[in-house]
Amino acid sequence: MDIKEILAHCDHTLLKPESTWAQIKEICDDGLKYHCASVCIPAAYVREAAEYVGNQLKICTVIGFPNGYSTTNVKVFETEDAIRNGADEIDMVINIGWVKDQRWDDLLQEMKAIKASCSGRILKVIVEACLLTQEEKIKLCELVTASGAEYIKTSTGFSTGGATREDVALFVQHVGPGVKVKAAGGISSLQDAEDFLALGADRLGTSRIVKLVKGQQGEGY
């Protein structure tokens, strides 16, 4: 697969708690240079980043991150604030405890509330697949589809595991029409990226692919 095609599916990501504006600015510069799908950054930097890139690059941020157990009202406020600050895409974390309690209606209503708060922007629902059973994963595909969200996302990258090929294949099989899959967490090589895209993922949440390409400049980019 062509490197440019892989990069076009990458949400170039920097979500470490110690991230500085200088580092975020570098992420934005890389996202612009390599024509990434978006940059995924902490909410506190969204306004600066949006002003910095203008309309040349999508700005993505995270809501209820990384644990997902904020109240729905808090997540809605976070979402509205991020949109006001210039976010183009929202990646929200579900309440994993509600999954274990089988509070399916609460989960669906929260997804719908956050989707409504996105004001037409793209919503990706992070389900933290490493903490779920097979049955829970399939149920969440159903709920994400019903919510109107555009994506189901495998992982935060901050829990016990990241994206797996098995989970991406499962999600692709079980989401409804129009719902796409974002693989995130532990994507550490171009082969990983190519494999996930070949399995049907539409987005890759990763901090490493651009770094790898930067190290290989002159070799086909």
Residues noted as catalytic: 91, 153, 182
| φ/ψ of residue 10, rounded to 5 | -90, 130
Q: Are strands 180-184 and 10-13 parallel, antiparallel or unpaired?
A: unpaired
Closest alpha carbon to 37 in 158, 201, 217, 159: 201
Closest alpha carbon to 153 in 166, 167, 139, 142: 167
Helix then strand count (H, E) for the chain reads 10, 8
Q: What is d(CA 151, CA 160) in angstroms, rounded to the nearest whole number?
A: 21
Burial 74-98 (b: 16+ CB within 10 A, else e): ebbebbebbbebbbbbbbbbbbbeb
